[in-house]
């Protein structure tokens, strides 16, 4: 796997360079989000160690994020996608998702997955659709795992 890549558009940069990630920004957003509310910082740090992470930056300030969990051969799961509120409406989430699905190490995968409550339009733009076989999908879900975690 590469050491990291970056793409620039005007005054914005998207980078997969792990050392640029601002864990305070990522944890701050995720801990207030509907999908990861209350997540411990240690859990965020651990998730970053095991993911291909994409940071969106305005200069040196991190303003967005997405991460991909993948075997780089058959499957990818996209999670924790966000752009902080004051930077929304600038096309950053669209550009971020274009970079995610276009990343060279994630090409040729058979299946991509994600969960969303409110961003279906964003993901549809880059090829996501409702599951063709939802009857086959199963999950183990633990809603209160962050309350009782050992992170």
* Contact call for residues 51 and 66 (beta carbons, < 8 A): no
Point out which residues pair with 112 in neighbouring strands.
76
Share of the chain above pLDDT 90, in %: 90
The H-assigned helical ranges of 10-131 are 23-30, 41-49, 92-102, 120-124
pLDDT higher than threshold 80 for residue 37? yes
pTM over 0.85? The answer is yes
Residue 41 phi/psi, 5-degree rounding, is -55, -40
pLDDT higher than threshold 90 for residue 135? yes
pLDDT higher than threshold 60 for residue 106? yes
Cα–Cα distance for residue pair 41/62, rounded to 1 Å: 17
In eight-state DSSP terms, residue 73 is: S
What average pLDDT does the structure give for the chain? 94
Confidence category of residue 144, pLDDT binned at 50, 70, 90: confident
Tokens standing for 69? Answer: 């969990």
Return the number of other C-beta atoms located less than 10 Å from residue 86's C-beta.
Answer: 9
User: Which CATH number does 6-136 carry?
Assistant: 3.40.630.30
Average pLDDT rounded to a whole number, residues 53-71: 98
pLDDT the model gives residue 143: 84
In eight-state DSSP terms, residue 14 is: E
Average pLDDT rounded to a whole number, residues 120-131: 96
């Amino acid at each position: 796997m590469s050491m990291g890549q970056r793409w620039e558009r005007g005054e914005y940069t998207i980078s997969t360079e792990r050392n640029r990630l601002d864990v305070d920004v990522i944890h701050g957003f995720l801990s207030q989000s509907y999908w990861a509310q209350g997540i411990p910082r240690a859990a965020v740090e651990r998730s970053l160690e095991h993911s291909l992470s994409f940071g969106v930056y305005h200069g040196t300030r991190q303003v967005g994020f997405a991460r991909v969990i993948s075997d780089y051969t058959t499957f990818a799961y996209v999670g924790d996608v966000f752009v902080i509120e004051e930077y929304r409406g600038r096309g950053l989430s669209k550009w971020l998702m274009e970079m995610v699905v276009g990343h060279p190490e994630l090409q040729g995968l058979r299946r991509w997955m994600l969960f969303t409550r409110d961003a279906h339009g964003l993901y549809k733009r880059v090829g996501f659709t409702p599951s063709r076989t939802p009857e086959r999908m199963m999950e183990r879900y633990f809603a209160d795992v962050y309350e009782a975690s050992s992170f």
